[in-house]
Amino acid sequence: METTTTIEIPRHLLHAARATPEELKIELAVQLYAQRRLSIGHARELAGMSLWQFRQLLASRRISPHYDVADLDDDMHTWARLDSE
């Protein structure tokens, strides 16, 4: 069962940041991804964006995609599976 957590942010802080709750979720997702604390899949989910939209946002902010050996291995398995179909 999936659960959620609610974070209370005083309205005056939202006003001071000139941000909506949705914008703050996006900012949190971007920062956690940039700090390598969330995967791109989890970060885009938190941001409420498609993978493509989130990648475009990261690119617009000059945040490099994280791509490691495990990602390469996953991609190689996917390519091999698709090639055999």
DSSP codes, 23-66: HHHHHHHHHHHHTTSS-HHHHHHHHT--HHHHHHHHHHTTPPPP
pLDDT tens for 33-58 read 999 999 888 999 999 999 999 999 99
Residue 66: is its pLDDT beyond 90?
Answer: no
**Structure pTM?**
0.76
pLDDT tens for 22-32 read 999 999 999 99
pLDDT, residue 72, reads: 78
Nearest to 76 by CA among 39, 67, 59: 67
